[in-house]
Amino acid sequence: MLQHCFNMQSYSVKLVVNKDRVNKKTGLCSLYLKVIINRKPIPIPMGLKWPLSFISMEKGCILPREKKDPDFRDYEMIIISELSKINEIFKIYRLQDKLLTPELFKKELKSFSRRKNFIAFMSQRITERYNLKQIGVQTKKNHQSTLNKLSEFKEYIAFHEIDKRFLEKFAGWLKTEYENEDATVWTRIKDVNTYLEIAEGEGIGVNSDYKKYQISSPKGRIIYLEDEEIDRLFVLFNSRRLVPTHHQVLRAFLFSCFTSLRISDIRLAQWGWVTINKEMQFVPYKTRSTKKEVIIPLSRVAESLIEKKTGFFFSLPTDQEMNRSLKDLAVLADIKKDLTFHVARHTFGSHYYRETKDIISLQKIMGHYKLDTTMIYVHINEQDKRDGIKKLDEAFMRHMPVRRLVG
């Protein structure tokens, strides 16, 4: 329990539960913060439920339900943030030597959104967006990782604090403390901006100066497979020497190479998507909020890779098992690249453009909102030309002085 006393005033706050209202089936109970001002109790509902058996009443905190509890960190941060908010009010009145009454406290707490903790806001919205299926498991993990770094950089961050200078310092800290590359820093800043924009849309006052901090998107080289590498994977697929899990994963990977489907869509791919014209018509999982459909013709190769003749196309293992399988498959096929389903998608994009030069159709097939996103495959092929000339030049130099120019 946190307690403050001065000038005959006393404040305290503690996490409590109502033991008489525990759900008998689930063991869950509602969490409250019990604020006491001059002996007058004020219950503050948290809007959270946690198993009573995993709450330390003595310490006033929740405990993990299991090792690596997926929700514990989120809930703990929300509780800590609310405690910080209440203690901030206590501190303001203490420093100003002002009398804090229960009525004034309620008013201050209600209006606290003007200086609300961004850490708590981001934590709550990550959980809410995931529960509402607005973001997937991996995006949740990525956003949570950014939040962990941000809270490590500064435990309490008021909205008005986040301006251009703040983001510059955070980016610099990521580079010096964790030696993050530009691409990682760019992703972290982008995540923070996403939740600042959400807050702005909800009417929470943010410092618009944060928009002045511009960090360019990294233009890393896209990894994709060449024809001979795809051929090696097909030879491996047909070799009958793969264990079932490797065979399933390779089937789905090659299907992505010939359709551009993301792994999230491959898991959901089904015959219900296929029209009489042998086209897949569906709303991609990543952009499901827009409800915009994409139409992808099924090539004969892609159709031959479909595992099942009814229902879902594939039966796939967990993401971790797939990642392990892809590493094994790269070794077995003697491919010196990290195989991921992003690589498969980029393989489709680069080969489609190389063969057709039709950037507009490619944009529609891949479901890109902006043409600029698709243009990267044009740049790849420009790089192919430069690499080709470089290789030709290197071959020429290897034959010196036989091919030396004279005169």
pLDDT classification of 183: cutoffs 50, 70, 90: confident
Mean pLDDT of the chain: 85
| 8 A C-beta contact, residue 358 and residue 204 | no
Question: Which of 89, 117, 76, 123 is CA-nearest to residue 11?
Answer: 89
- Is CATH 3.40.50.2020 what the domain over 227-392 is classified as, yes or no? no
pLDDT band, very low/low/confident/very high, at 314 (cuts 50, 70, 90): very high
Would you kindly state where each structural domain of the chain is located, as residue ranges? 1-100, 111-220, 227-392
Choose from 76-80, 108-112, 239-243 the range with maximum mean pLDDT: 239-243
Higher-confidence position of 396 and 344? 344
Residue 64 has pLDDT above 50, yes or no: yes
Q: Tell me if 232 sits within 8 A of 335, measured CB to CB.
A: yes
Where helices occur in 98-181 by DSSP H, the ranges are: 102-110, 118-131, 137-153, 164-177
pTM score, whole prediction: 0.52
pLDDT tens string 334-380:
999 989 999 999 999 999 998 888 999 999 999 988 888 888 888 76
What are the Cα distances from residue 380, in Å, to 169, 256, 274, 360, 383? 34, 19, 31, 16, 5
Q: Which of 21-30, 91-100, 236-245, 365-374 has the lowest mean pLDDT?
A: 91-100
Indicate the residue type of 322: M
β-partners of residue 34 are: 14, 43
Tell me the residue type at 402.
V
Tokens 């806001």 appear where?
Answer: 121
What is the per-residue pLDDT for 115? 53
Q: Tell me: pLDDT of 405 over 50.
A: no
User: Within 10 Å of residue 145's Cβ, how many Cβ atoms?
Assistant: 14
Three-state secondary structure along 274-321? ECCCCEEEECCCCCHHHCCCEEEECCHHHHHHCCCCCCECCCCCCHHH
DSSP string for 42-78: EEEEEEEEEEGGGEETTTTEE--SSTT-TTHHHHHHH
CATH no. of 111-220: 1.10.150.130
pLDDT at 364: 94
Once rounded to an integer, what is the mean pLDDT over residues 378-387? 65
